[in-house]
């Protein structure tokens, strides 16, 4: 994996591995992050994997930029030839897609995509997604890629309150809001699943590289699984 | 030996009072923010005065309006912005230890200069430790703090403090004048270049030469700067992890400086970053205040930060001037 490094903060180094979003690259970067954590131990305070990058925040009492880069270079130049098998269990997410309650953007979006609400739900729930990165909020997983017919820019005006569990799309990605928060993505439905649980290990249900599928469920199933309206 | 229940009962939470420490570690990959005290300088001095270990939690009081009652004797220190505090009605000094008796009432007024005051207690505030080995309250994430839900302090909250013997008061101490910042001095932020930035050099020169003002829309996530907008092209950037101090230039051309509660990843072009020591000072900046940048090399910035950390994290803390 080709790489480059740059200073991204007084105690931060950003490693770049490419320019294009690619689920396989995200999975490799996630695994590399775990490897670096094991190799560099106490020197690292935080590792943030994203689509094409790894941000390392380090303890300046133990390392400076040059010393850390010197330690990273052999580790990055001698990566395992092929990425370890990333085949993980697919996580199935039940979603109640409903234009009247959980999916307030379904109707407008279907119009824009020139399809019916049913087709739109089918397009969203009929493919497997991969988690690229976590960010924005605890356990918020950016997943891709959407069917090209569903690609649409974010809402002009973000909502100040998006309910927890909301399943949403924007650009060529989909995500689930783990907690109630502001948000500018288009809301299609809601899942009763808990995406972030402080007491679980790890607390985030989804990890980069994880395979995910959405399944449409009816109102009764949604409610019986603990969903709220 | 009776078991003493040592709590500070909050009578008024004020504008925004939060339990904060050094922030979380090893959780950014879960999408969690860092959090922690905005002004480490004032916080670290507060703990140092009381002989506390580095990293003990403090109450960060923004603007003021905080009121609380101590159930048992202890020692406290107020550092950072002078909130015009009174102890049982009598004005008290900042940047020095204060002796507390059982039943003492502490009430702050409002900051005339600076923005955030720190209330440290001997032994530290013993609120629950949450994710990332931190006690910090993160309102946006509904995590951490005294209730584990990130809530700001409010009337009725009870904060435990460490159990020390009544005789174990600690000697009175005060921060030397040279280490007490002047919050009326011009706010100048040390800026380090990111040599890999896609932004043209001319644009960065303009950013550094211009005077900016701190927007009132700033919060614990980011400091927003207002001024003559920079002409920023749109860059098709893929989001990446962002560190504290990162300067971002969104299409509006108004710079954003990312702070402790930033989102863990971001996608605007970055000319470089501001030092963590400058963020400590920026934490005391008030809306409308003028901000300017000056260049510093990465090596100097790292040296400066390391000097700060080693001063406060030395095992054998050098004695400080007794009052």
Q: What is the pLDDT of residues B222-231, one digit of tens each?
A: 999 999 999 9
pLDDT digits (tens, 9 = 90+) for A154-203: 888 889 899 999 999 998 999 999 999 888 899 999 999 999 999 998 89
Considering only the beta carbons, identify the residue of A6, A16, A48 that sits closest to B28.
Answer: A48
Among chain A residues, the shortest Cα distance to B193 is held by A7
Instruction: Verify whether the Cβ–Cβ distance A138 to B246 is below 8 Å.
Output: no
A64 and B241: CB-CB below 8 Å?
A: no
Q: Is B143 on the interface with A (CB under 8 A)?
A: yes
Per residue in A105-144, pLDDT (tens digit) is: 999 999 999 999 999 999 999 999 999 999 989 999 999 9
CB-based contact B30 A204, cutoff 8 Å: yes
Is residue A154 a part of any domain in this protein? yes
Which chain A residues have a beta carbon less than 8 Å from that of B270? Answer: 8
Q: Which of B22, B23, B25, B29 to mutate to test the interface with A (most CBs of A within 10 A)?
A: B29
Give the CATH number for residue B289. 2.40.100.10
For residue B46, give the nearest of B118, B141, B133, B134 by alpha carbon.
Answer: B118
Give the span between the Cα atoms of B273 and B81, in whole angstroms: 25
Of A14, A136, A139, the CB nearest to B241: A14
**Are B12 and B154 members of one domain?**
yes
Whether residue A103 sits in one domain with residue A157: yes
Q: For chain B, what percentages of helix, strand and coil (3-state, to nearest 5) are there?
A: 15, 30, 55
Decide if B297 touches A, using CB distance below 8 A.
Answer: no
How far apart are alpha carbons B13 and B11 in whole angstroms?
A: 7
Q: Which alpha helices (H) appear in chain B, and where do they start and end?
A: 40-49, 201-209, 276-282, 298-313
Same domain, B164 and B42: yes
Instruction: Please state the domain count of chain A.
Output: 2
Interface test with B, best of A36, A135, A177 (most B CBs within 10 A): A135
- At B62-92, the pLDDT tens digits run 999 999 999 999 999 999 999 999 999 999 9
Are residues A114 and A59 part of one domain?
A: no
Q: Please, which residues bridge with residue A167 across strands?
A: A176, A189
Going by the DSSP 8-state scheme, the letter that residue A61 receives in this structure is: T
CA distance B220 to B166: 37
In this structure, the answer to whether residues B151 and B232 fall within a common structural domain is no
Q: Which of A48, A77, A106 is the last residue of a domain?
A: A77
Please give the mean pLDDT across all residues of chain B.
93
Question: Is pLDDT above 80 for B242?
Answer: yes
Interface predicted TM-score (ipTM) = 0.93
Do A220 and A140 fall within a single domain?
yes
Does the structure show a pLDDT above 50 at A27?
Answer: yes
**Strand (E) or helix (H) holding B161:** none
Is residue B1 domain-resident? no
Q: What is the pLDDT, as a whole number, of residue A20?
A: 85
Total structural domains within chain B: 2
Is the domain of B143 the same as that of B202? no
| Rounded Cα gap, residues B11 and B202, in angstroms | 53
- Per-residue pLDDT at A26: 87
> Can you give the residue range of the structural domain that contains B152?
7-175
Do A73 and A99 fall within a single domain? no
Min CA distance, B197 vs chain A (Å)? 9
Q: Name the residue range of residue A114's domain.
A: 91-224
Query: Do B157 and B23 have their domain in common?
Result: yes
In a domain, B316, yes or no: no
pLDDT at B322: 47
Question: Do the Cβ atoms of B302 and A60 come within 8 Å?
Answer: yes
Rounded to whole angstroms, the Cα distance separating B216 from B117 reads 19
Same domain, A25 and A100: no
Q: Are residues B239 and B142 in the same domain?
A: no
* Percent of chain B surpassing pLDDT 70: 94
């Amino acid at each position: 994996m080709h790489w480059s490094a740059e200073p991204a903060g007084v105690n931060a180094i950003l490693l770049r591995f490419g320019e294009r979003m690619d689920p396989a690259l995200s999975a490799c970067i996630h695994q590399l992050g775990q490897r670096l954590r094991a190799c560099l131990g106490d020197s690292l305070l935080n590792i943030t994997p994203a689509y094409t990058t790894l941000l390392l925040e380090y303890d300046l009492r133990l390392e400076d930029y040059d010393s850390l880069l010197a330690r990273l270079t052999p580790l990055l130049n001698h990566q395992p030839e092929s990425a370890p098998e990333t085949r993980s269990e697919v996580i199935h997410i039940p979603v109640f897609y409903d234009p009247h309650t959980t999916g307030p953007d379904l109707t407008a979006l279907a119009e824009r995509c020139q399809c019916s609400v049913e087709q739109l739900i089918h397009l969203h729930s009929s493919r497997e997604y991969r988690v690229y990165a976590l960010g924005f909020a605890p356990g918020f997983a950016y997943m891709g890629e959407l069917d090209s017919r569903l690609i649409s820019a974010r809402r002009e005006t973000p909502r100040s309150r998006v309910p927890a569990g909301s399943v949403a799309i924007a650009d060529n990605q989909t995500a689930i809001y783990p907690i109630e928060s502001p948000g500018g993505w288009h809301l299609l439905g809601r899942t009763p699943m808990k995406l972030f649980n402080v007491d679980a290990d790890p607390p985030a249900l989804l990890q980069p590289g994880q395979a995910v599928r959405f399944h449409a469920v009816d109102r009764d199933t949604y409610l019986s699984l603990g969903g709220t309206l | 030996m009776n078991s003493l229940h040592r709590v500070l009962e909050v009578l008024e939470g004020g504008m925004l009072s939060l339990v904060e420490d050094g922030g979380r570690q090893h959780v950014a990959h879960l999408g969690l923010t860092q959090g922690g005290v905005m002004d480490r300088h004032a916080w670290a001095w507060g703990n140092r005065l009381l002989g506390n270990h580095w990293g003990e939690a403090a109450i960060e009081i923004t603007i003021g309006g905080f009121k609380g009652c101590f159930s048992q004797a202890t020692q406290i220190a107020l550092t950072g912005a002078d909130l015009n505090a009174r102890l049982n009605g009598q004005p008290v000094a900042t940047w020095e230890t204060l002796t507390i008796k059982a039943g003492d009432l502490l009430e702050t007024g409002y900051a005339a200069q600076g923005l955030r005051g720190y209330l440290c207690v001997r032994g530290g505030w013993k609120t629950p430790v949450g994710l990332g080995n931190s006690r910090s309250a993160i309102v946006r994430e509904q995590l951490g703090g005294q209730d584990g839900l990130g809530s700001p302090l409010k009337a009725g909250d009870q904060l435990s403090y460490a159990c020390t013997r009544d005789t174990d008061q600690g000697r009175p101490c005060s921060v030397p004048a040279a280490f007490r910042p002047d919050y009326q001095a011009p706010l100048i932020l040390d800026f380090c270049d990111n040599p890999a930035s896609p932004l043209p050099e001319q644009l960065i020169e303009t950013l550094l030469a211009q005077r900016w003002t701190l927007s009132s829309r700033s919060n614990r996530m980011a400091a927003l700067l207002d001024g003559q907008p920079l002409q920023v092209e749109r860059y098709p950037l893929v989001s990446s992890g962002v560190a504290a101090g990162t300067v971002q230039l969104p299409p509006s051309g108004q710079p954003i400086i990312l702070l402790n509660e930033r989102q863990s990843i971001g996608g605007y072009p970055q000319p470089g970053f501001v030092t963590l020591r400058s963020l400590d000072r920026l934490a005391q900046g008030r809306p409308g205040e003028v901000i300017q940048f000056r260049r510093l090399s990465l090596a100097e910035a790292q040296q400066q930060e390391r000097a700060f950390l080693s001063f406060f994290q030395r095992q054998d803390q050098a004695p400080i001037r007794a009052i």
